[in-house]
Amino acid sequence: MNTTAAVLFVIFIGATLVITWWAGKRNTSVESHLVAQGRISGKRNGLAIAGDLVSAATFLGTTAAIAFSGFNGYYYAIFIPMAFLLALLLVAEPLRNLGRFTLGDVVATRFPSDNVRATIGVSAVVVSILYVVAQFVGAALLVQLLFGIDYLWAAIIIAVLTTVYTLFGGMIATTYIQIVQTILLLIAGVVLIVLVLSNFGFNPMQVFASIKASPDAALLQPLRESPAAQWEQFSLIFGVTLGVLGLPHILVRFLTVPSAKEARSSAVTSIWIFSGFLIFMPILSFGAVSLYGGRKGLMEEVGNPNLTVTALGKYLGGDTLLAFVAAVTFLVILSSLAGLIIATSGAISHDLYANVLKKGRVDPKQQLTVARIATFVSAAIATAIALVAQQYNVAFLATLAIAVAASAMLPALLLTMYWRKTTAIGVAVGMVFGLLTALLVILQSPIFRGENAFIPISSPAIISLPVGFIVMMVVSLLTQPKGDEARKADAIFDRIRIKMVTKVDPGDPTTQDESIRIRA
């Protein structure tokens, strides 16, 4: 057991529990539990979003992917800033103006059908659980490394802490814990980068030169494998770039701010932080490989590739820096897990229970109770899956979740907001096909079936994302309304197009702006 790490863990966990206690006093309604009452400022929300994205999948998984798979592993994360640029342009403001608690609310402004609400609710749960698993694996490996306990007990400890944060503090506690962990993670990143560069004369190019002159020079080369491996790489890029726009725990963040202006500010802030962090990631990964004398020496040290960044901390600063990096990473994972569990419990309590099962006739206190019950269930399911996913790369697990999000959630959101001919049946059927196709590709891929795989790639986006869009569009064209129903559908689309930009519903009799009412 690393004594320094244990002390830092206790300090960090104690601080987060204090934040949870403070937030718990304010977490008294379903609105505060799910979206912090929409009172988080744009800058703070941007810090929290950055904390969601610079998570175990990035800090642990991507550094491991680059160190052991080469520069191609960089593609696990480098396209996420591009994804957030798309989010800034396409979804940030419309989500804030149309949504309330969940992504289901956004789609329901145009399609209030129970089938649509149920489909998007189930899809949100599946995507969030898949992403939770990636975080659980990273956190459990850290706890196992530092305290020498069994992986099972490590996963249980994480599940308990995550449940406490979510159950009592809700989105308020999660937001402020994410802000704290983002600041700490940036400090840890800066320290690691400075120390790595100090070993190479503060010349970043020397890090790459050392790899080029070593037996591991192939790490710097483009992927030169089979066509299947090349398509796998492209599918990863495709899924990551578009999939972030469908991640429920990220998009729901745009509902925690008071206005569309603050939503845009959130996206801009997170882009700057995430981009700055990613620029130096290859230096950390290749620095670890070089300092340990190659991939073989690094693997002998870590045992599991996901722990590359902690091994780098140990080499550069001994047990003290190892403890700080590991403790910060652990805090990053816990806060990300809390956000994911809230998105999951929100979909269950608000979309599936309050609107589908109870038809909107539900007491807010009862809905809050259901959300808290869903917290227990979600954490338990994620823990069970994480127990069999211990050896998978954390970044890869996260990209699978992102690909599923791209295939199911993204087509529904974009076509609901931007395509007049979209229908409720088209949205529901397209989401089901996109979701099932993504899961089928994963289950029939080499990662599960090895040499007997029916499909030669493991990342499903290149197949499932077009399926989601095409099925949704074709079914919509085949189910176009006629007569009065068509005119009613056009009127609803015109209303939400105005509300997306102004937040004013021209169909609401309380609307004061007569010009907007006339335009509608």
Q: Which CATH superfamily is domain 3-230+256-396 in?
A: Sodium/glucose cotransporter (1.20.1730.10)
Q: How far is CA 340 from CA 26, 53, 55, 167, in A?
A: 20, 11, 12, 13
Task: Report the C-alpha gap between 159 and 55 in whole angstroms.
Answer: 17
Taking only the tens of pLDDT, the chain with its 520 residues reads: 567 777 887 888 888 889 989 988 888 888 888 888 888 998 999 888 887 777 656 777 788 888 888 877 777 677 777 777 888 788 888 888 888 888 888 888 888 888 888 888 888 888 888 777 777 777 777 677 667 778 778 778 888 888 888 888 888 988 998 888 888 888 888 999 999 999 998 998 998 899 888 888 888 877 666 777 778 778 888 887 887 788 888 888 888 998 888 888 888 888 888 888 888 888 998 999 999 888 888 888 877 777 788 888 888 888 888 888 878 877 777 777 888 888 888 888 888 888 888 888 888 888 888 888 888 888 888 777 777 666 665 556 676 777 778 888 889 989 999 999 999 999 999 999 998 898 888 888 777 777 777 888 878 888 999 999 999 999 999 999 988 889 998 998 988 888 888 877 776 666 555 544 444 4
CA quadruple 189, 194, 198, 203: dihedral positive or negative? positive
Report the 10 Å Cβ neighbour count for 486: 11
412: which 2 tokens?
């529904």
Q: Are 106 and 116 in contact (CB under 8 A)?
A: no
- Going from N- to C-terminal start, the domains of the chain cover 3-230+256-396
Alpha carbons 457 and 474: distance in angstroms, whole number: 26
Would you list the DSSP string of 302-353? HSSGGGHHHHHHHHHHHHHHHHHHHHHHHHHHHHHHHHHHHHHHHIIIIIII
Distance CA(167)–CA(157), nearest Å, equals: 15
Work out the angle at residue 48's Cα, subtended by the Cα atoms of residues 46 and 50, and round it to the nearest 5 degrees: 70
